Structure 1
Amino acid sequence: MFKKILIANRGEIACRVIKTARKMGIATVAVYSDADKTALHVSMADEAVHIGPPPANQSYIVIDRIIEAIRKTGAQAVHPGYGFLSENPKFAQALEAEGVAFVGPPVKAIEAMGDKITSKKIAQEAGVSTVPGYMGLIEDAEEAVRISRDIGYPVMIKASAGGGGKGMRIAWDDDEARQGFQSSKNEAASSFGDDRIFIEKFVTQPRHIEIQVLADQHGNCIYLGERECSIQRRNQKVIEEAPSPFLDEATRKAMGEQAVALAQAVGYTSAGTVEFIVDGEKNFYFLEMNTRLQVEHPVTELITGIDLVEQMIRVANGEPLSIAQQDVKLNGWAMESRLYAEDPYRNFLPSIGRLTRYRPPKELANGTGVVRNDTGVFEGGEISMFYDPMIAKLCTWGPTRSEAIEGMRVALDSFEVEGIGHNLPFLSAVMDHPKFVAGDMTTAFIAEEYPEGFDGVTLGQVELRRVAASAAAMHRVAEIRRTRVSGRMDNHERKVGRDWVVWIDGEGFACTVDADREGATVTFGDGTAHRVASDWTPGQPLAVLDVDGAPLILKVGKMTGGFRIRTRGADLRVHVFSPRQAELAALMPEKQEADTSKLLLCPMPGLIVKIDVEEGQEVQEGQPLCTVEAMKMENILRAERKAVVSKINAGPGDSLAVDEVIMEFE
């Protein structure tokens, strides 16, 4: 077995590989850019080597820098993680020339399957059903338009060397085909160093289901069930689960056997994933093969009990698989929620900054449930603009799908993140969405269910009353603490009133709080009562309560006259008043927001790539105004209505912060 492995990656996947290597008794080497000097993967590894400036094309994807680190440390093998150099055949060739093992497939398999154009041709020759499309090279945007018309809109424009949603666009007409071609080409060049583009038919109402395969160097290949990856935004997976709630055993077997046949046809070894589009009739079509470990591999590990990273290392070391197909049993259900540094209230635009608070839920594993958090960050660390916005993968397992979902709900409510915008509220909203709970979803789920974007969750009356009762009980505890701190110790119970009015987003709940040693009974004006118990004390940011015998977890922030409470995707401003205070508060005028209707504000920290208009130009609704790049993704900002550009304050190459003014309108 190898004595030392270098991980040619960063973030949570580097940390994930280090954990398994440590379990196997293998020393690890981390590599890092200037931006990652204090990163978690650097401190976890046994050794660390600096490889260059923050941009990936000057550090993490510079093959010579990785080779230098290998020579410096004497590493015998390299695990590439995913992204970066993981599917780069030149990197695998360089390692081979260096006499270092690549923890991945052979070069020929990477070339055959890692290139999406070539892989589709091979799949077609092997008799695998594929989506109609144009596999040749496309020279320019006008040729892309002609091809799109021939295939028939809608079409998917994709980077040949792409992955992780980078370099992908859906086009519904000629204009979108032109814009999508150029944006995909730009993203592909900056992310992968390969700007080749292909176009295929976009299958409407599809499910994205993938098969995990595992093959050794001795001709053995098995499949480890499937993963449902249909909850996506901008072709980027957000929530995954295993198994799929849609497949039956016959379809699972057919897809698995076809995935294995394809892998064997190209001499594949190591862990890999064959992705399919599956329609409503369970017809499946080959989409692509990822010749690397997938981001969502933990859900497969949780339902099979197989450590995929360990298997990859053993295969690279020349060992035969110790598992046969008949040994693979799917046990229970697993969920994965990707925690992204993206602000859901700003249309999921990237967010950077310092993690002032980062407290994941406690990890656990027993026969009734599992909570696992694969992460690459820590409290006090910085989220950089140079890399992918995913900062953690929260996973849960349960004996059934409903138990896995409920475990995820509790884990998400318990996850504390402050200092940056993040998508925890959105993940909570999906876990409670009726269509998701029913397993009724396609890759269009987010676009269809949140067509205007995400603006938070509106709690129903039952849940709202549970929160109101909790806030009243918590406020009473805080008031008692306040009277003690102020020195008024005698008979402090009499100094705290029983009658309160809880205001939540404009709705008032008059109530009476009667407390005892075990908790408090909160009675509302209509006579309904709720029993609240908790050991919460003022200042704690997480309140774990029992309301009427059912758990309730609240993220709690202090504000004047009450709390900021977040739970199940809802972000609530909760005021607790005495009856007289409530009367006066109702008379207070609401603060008006500043008028920014004549300004184009930068929605995220990013780099201006292109300005599409000039001062004095009249623009129409929907017309592109400029392009901003952040975290390797290009974002086109468009006019919301007809207007005239009066002033342009930024140009290509400028780095802007959130809400900086890009241009002004008359």
Structure 2
Amino acid sequence: MIQKILIANRGEIACRVIKTARKMGIRTVAVYSDADRNALHVEMADEAVHIGPAPSSQSYIVIDKILEAIKETGADAVHPGYGFLSENAAFAEALEKAGIAFIGPPVGAIKAMGDKITSKKLAAEAGVSTVPGHMGLIADADEAVKIAGEIGYPVMIKASAGGGGKGMRIAWNDAEAREGFQSSKNEAKASFGDDRIFIEKFVTQPRHIEIQVLGDTHGTVLYLGERECSIQRRNQKVIEEAPSPFLDEATRRAMGEQAVALSKAVGYHSVGTVEFIVDGDRNFYFLEMNTRLQVEHPVTELITGIDLVEQMIRVAGGEALAFGQDEVKLNGWAIESRLYAEDPYRNFLPSIGRLSRYRPPVEGVKADGSIVRNDTGVFEGGEISMYYDPMVAKLCTWAPDRVTAIDAMSKALDDFEVEGIGHNLPFLSAVMQHDRFRSGRITTAFIAEEFPDGFHGVVPDEGSARKLAAVATVVHQTMQERAAQISGTIGNHRRVIGQDWVVRFGDADYALTLDGAADGAHIRFGDGAVFVVASDWKPGSSHAMFTINGTDIGVKIDLVGTGIRLRWRGMDVRAHVRSPRVAALAGLMPKKLPPDTSKMLLCPMPGVITTIAVAAGETIEAGQTLATVEAMKMENILRAERQGVVKRVAVSAGASLAVDELIMEFE
């Protein structure tokens, strides 16, 4: 039996492994870099070892430093999590040589399946349906363009050792193939230390559906159903669910059996994931096999009741699986939303900083039978670093059916408070309310098709606008009553609070009257509609529940100047509640215009300038590459929006910039 596990990872996955190990009575060891000295996984583990500077290339992926930590602590097993060294065959071999149990698959399977080029060949030999592509190594951009032309555009350019959307580009023409090849190589080398690239046909209108497999060292391999991972942005998964709303039982079984056959062909044990692209006719094509625990494993755990981390530990300890394929049952529906430190209002660019507020929804079983789970590795007051992946948490919900699971997720997102960084909570909320998502008519192009100009927040419809106007009025009334209590009575006079108000957000005005009653505030709109609103909000509270005509909604509330900022279901409005006279005067006030930055290129995120592609005096064309910024292990190419001339370049390659710092000016 394994006695002590060293977790060669960080963040939420390290915390996740610690929870299961603790449940099993196994001691844990955390490793940490300079940037993670005060991280949650360090606090949770029984022991912790410092392994180097913040960059992962100097800490988390340095095999010798992990081996030193193992020796120092006497750990007899290592769980690699995902990313970093999780699919590194040299690391698994080093552990085997040192007599340390690797809580993962055998070295041979990592080599065969972890390398996407080799895995494609093996899958084809095993009779698994594969996507057309070039499986050989590609020497340079010229060869990449030639191969892409032979396969036929569009093509997917991918890092052989990649994962998590890193080192991956879609090219629709020669220029994009040339540029994408170099960017993929750069990202792959920075993230995985391996810059080999391959190219395959990009299947249009695809769904990304993957099969979870689990095998032991005694020859048993099972499949545990599928996960739909089609909601992606820049090839990075954003929302996952299990099961898929698209598969029928016959297709599920066929995919599962192929995944098991492939796993057995390489002598696989531990957990793994076989990824497929599925077209509109339910034809499926093998993409790759990830020889590790997946980020989205919680949704499989929620519908099967199987703790995958526990099974990994037991398999690594030599135990046989205690159940067979017939005993694997899929129960209900689970949704996972990935909370990223990225600003959806700035084209999802990475965001770093201190979490001035971090208050997830309460986990556990709810009154309606739904379940909320939040896997995280951060805490209020902690720092989001530029050195690592931007994922902050994985919020999951379970319910007996898909619609109820989505509704439970919507409520959980409403209740999730995050401040201090840019984050994608409003975008996740918007997706949950989107008709196309709710109907299950999704593909990997969903975000690109439904948000072609980026995300700019959800514009309230009339019903939602009235709810928010009612909420703003109740908040304002509560503040007025508090002020009246503080000021007290002067002589025989007490401050009188009006009943008639005008609520403005955006360009919309809502004239209404508020009357107090035993069952809550009665808010009457100009057309006679009445909203009865009850609330537990108190001044200073950043979140509150409001019951509006019998329906509960959770709203985030911030008092900003004379306004009230309200956030709900992806909507973000700043409301002003004024008396009719003040509202009329406010309408006469001039509007402040934002500064003109049209002749400047500003750094869109905190990061490092890796390249400056133009010089002062140079004429540029629309779409031309101007500079490249690297942040959170991703390269971001900055392009010219229009034709012009470069007046001045303010920085050089290698400069570390904050958000909105000047890179260059134009004439």
SS in 1 for 2:651: coil
Match of 1:84 in 2: 84
Confirm whether residue 189 of structure 1 aligns to residue 189 of structure 2: yes
In structure 1, what is the Cα distance between the partners aligned to 2:655 and 2:331? 52
Confirm whether residue 498 of structure 1 aligns to residue 499 of structure 2: yes
Match of 2:412 in 1: 411
CA shift for structure 1 position 484: 1.4
In structure 1, what is the Cα distance between the partners aligned to 2:557 and 2:415? 11
Q: Given that residues 103 and 316 in structure 1 are in contact (C-alpha distance below 8 angstroms), is that contact kept between their aligned partners in structure 2?
A: yes
Give the aligned length.
Answer: 666
Q: Given that residues 480 and 492 in structure 1 are in contact (C-alpha distance below 8 angstroms), is that contact kept between their aligned partners in structure 2?
A: no
Match of 2:605 in 1: 604
Deviations 1:489-543 (A, max 9, x none): 8999861111111112111111110012431000011111000001111110002
Deviations 1:98-118 (A, max 9, x none): 100000000000000000000
SS in 2 for 1:527: coil
Opposite residue 259 of structure 2, the aligned amino acid is A
Opposite residue 496 of structure 1, the aligned amino acid is I
In structure 1, what is the Cα distance between the partners aligned to 2:440 and 2:431? 11
CA shift for structure 1 position 405: 0.2
SS in 2 for 1:495: coil
In structure 2, what is the Cα distance between the partners aligned to 1:78 and 1:606? 32
In structure 2, what is the Cα distance between the partners aligned to 1:473 and 1:148? 60
Confirm whether residue 352 of structure 1 aligns to residue 352 of structure 2: yes
Match of 2:173 in 1: 173
SS in 2 for 1:520: strand
Match of 1:546 in 2: 547
- Pair 298,492 (structure 1): closer, same or farther in 2 beyond 3 Å: farther
Match of 2:262 in 1: 262
CA shift for structure 1 position 378: 0.3
Match of 1:18 in 2: 18
Q: Given that residues 561 and 577 in structure 1 are in contact (C-alpha distance below 8 angstroms), is that contact kept between their aligned partners in structure 2?
A: no
In structure 2, what is the Cα distance between the partners aligned to 1:633 and 1:264? 35
In structure 1, what is the Cα distance between the partners aligned to 2:47 and 2:132? 48
Opposite residue 207 of structure 2, the aligned amino acid is R
Counterpart mapping for 1:291-306 below 5 A: 291-306=291-306
Opposite residue 407 of structure 2, the aligned amino acid is E
CA shift for structure 1 position 5: 0.3
Match of 2:54 in 1: 54
In structure 1, what is the Cα distance between the partners aligned to 2:5 and 2:245? 38
Match of 1:616 in 2: 617
Which blocks of at least 5 consecutive residues in structure 2 are unaligned?
none
Match of 1:372 in 2: 373
Counterpart mapping for 1:213-292 below 5 A: 213-292=213-292
In structure 1, what is the Cα distance between the partners aligned to 2:342 and 2:419? 12
Deviations 1:229-273 (A, max 9, x none): 000001000000000000000000000000000000000000000
Match of 1:148 in 2: 148
Confirm whether residue 464 of structure 1 aligns to residue 486 of structure 2: no
In structure 2, what is the Cα distance between the partners aligned to 1:492 and 1:362? 45
Deviations 1:150-171 (A, max 9, x none): 0000000000000000000000
Opposite residue 313 of structure 2, the aligned amino acid is I
SS in 1 for 2:440: coil
In structure 1, what is the Cα distance between the partners aligned to 2:112 and 2:567? 48
Match of 1:528 in 2: 529
In structure 1, what is the Cα distance between the partners aligned to 2:534 and 2:89? 59
Match of 2:426 in 1: 425
Shifted more, 509-518 versus 402-411: the winner is 509-518
Confirm whether residue 436 of structure 1 aligns to residue 400 of structure 2: no
SS in 2 for 1:557: strand
Match of 1:200 in 2: 200
In structure 1, what is the Cα distance between the partners aligned to 2:505 and 2:351? 28
CA shift for structure 1 position 65: 0.2
Deviations 1:447-495 (A, max 9, x none): 1111111111011101110111121122111100111123348999861
SS in 2 for 1:645: strand
Match of 1:362 in 2: 362
Q: Given that residues 475 and 562 in structure 1 are in contact (C-alpha distance below 8 angstroms), is that contact kept between their aligned partners in structure 2?
A: no
Match of 2:65 in 1: 65
Match of 2:392 in 1: 391
TM-score, reference length from structure 1: 0.99
SS in 1 for 2:179: helix
In structure 2, what is the Cα distance between the partners aligned to 1:560 and 1:506? 19
Match of 2:652 in 1: 651
CA shift for structure 1 position 601: 0.3
SS in 2 for 1:335: strand
Opposite residue 330 of structure 1, the aligned amino acid is L
RMSD over equivalenced CA pairs, Å: 1.0
SS in 1 for 2:87: coil
Opposite residue 83 of structure 1, the aligned amino acid is G
- Pair 3,493 (structure 1): closer, same or farther in 2 beyond 3 Å: farther
Match of 1:342 in 2: 342
- Pair 149,502 (structure 1): closer, same or farther in 2 beyond 3 Å: same
Deviations 1:128-149 (A, max 9, x none): 0100000101010010000000
In structure 2, what is the Cα distance between the partners aligned to 1:125 and 1:653? 46
SS in 2 for 1:514: strand
Match of 1:119 in 2: 119
Confirm whether residue 96 of structure 1 aligns to residue 96 of structure 2: yes
In structure 1, what is the Cα distance between the partners aligned to 2:486 and 2:4? 57
Match of 2:131 in 1: 131
CA shift for structure 1 position 613: 0.6
Opposite residue 429 of structure 1, the aligned amino acid is A
CA shift for structure 1 position 561: 2.8
In structure 2, what is the Cα distance between the partners aligned to 1:362 and 1:623? 48
Runs of 4 or more off by more than 6 Å in structure 1?
A: 489-494
Q: Given that residues 604 and 659 in structure 2 are in contact (C-alpha distance below 8 angstroms), is that contact kept between their aligned partners in structure 1?
A: yes
In structure 1, what is the Cα distance between the partners aligned to 2:85 and 2:566? 43
CA shift for structure 1 position 559: 2.0
In structure 2, what is the Cα distance between the partners aligned to 1:662 and 1:482? 48
In structure 1, what is the Cα distance between the partners aligned to 2:162 and 2:542? 41
SS in 1 for 2:231: strand
In structure 1, what is the Cα distance between the partners aligned to 2:527 and 2:164? 52
Opposite residue 592 of structure 1, the aligned amino acid is L
Match of 1:660 in 2: 661
- Pair 489,206 (structure 1): closer, same or farther in 2 beyond 3 Å: farther
- Pair 488,424 (structure 1): closer, same or farther in 2 beyond 3 Å: farther
Opposite residue 410 of structure 1, the aligned amino acid is K
Opposite residue 118 of structure 2, the aligned amino acid is T
In structure 2, what is the Cα distance between the partners aligned to 1:35 and 1:239? 28
In structure 2, what is the Cα distance between the partners aligned to 1:553 and 1:114? 44
Match of 1:449 in 2: 450
In structure 2, what is the Cα distance between the partners aligned to 1:369 and 1:446? 27
SS in 2 for 1:110: helix
In structure 2, what is the Cα distance between the partners aligned to 1:194 and 1:562? 52
SS in 1 for 2:61: coil
CA shift for structure 1 position 621: 0.4
Q: Given that residues 344 and 424 in structure 2 are in contact (C-alpha distance below 8 angstroms), is that contact kept between their aligned partners in structure 1?
A: yes
TM-score, reference length from structure 2: 0.99
Which blocks of at least 5 consecutive residues in structure 1 are unaligned?
none
The percentage of aligned residue pairs carrying the same residue is 71
CA shift for structure 1 position 634: 0.1
Q: Given that residues 519 and 532 in structure 2 are in contact (C-alpha distance below 8 angstroms), is that contact kept between their aligned partners in structure 1?
A: no
- Pair 181,489 (structure 1): closer, same or farther in 2 beyond 3 Å: farther
- Pair 490,256 (structure 1): closer, same or farther in 2 beyond 3 Å: farther
Match of 2:514 in 1: 513
SS in 1 for 2:652: coil
Q: Given that residues 95 and 101 in structure 1 are in contact (C-alpha distance below 8 angstroms), is that contact kept between their aligned partners in structure 2?
A: yes
CA shift for structure 1 position 223: 0.4
SS in 1 for 2:123: helix
In structure 2, what is the Cα distance between the partners aligned to 1:127 and 1:661? 54
SS in 1 for 2:303: helix
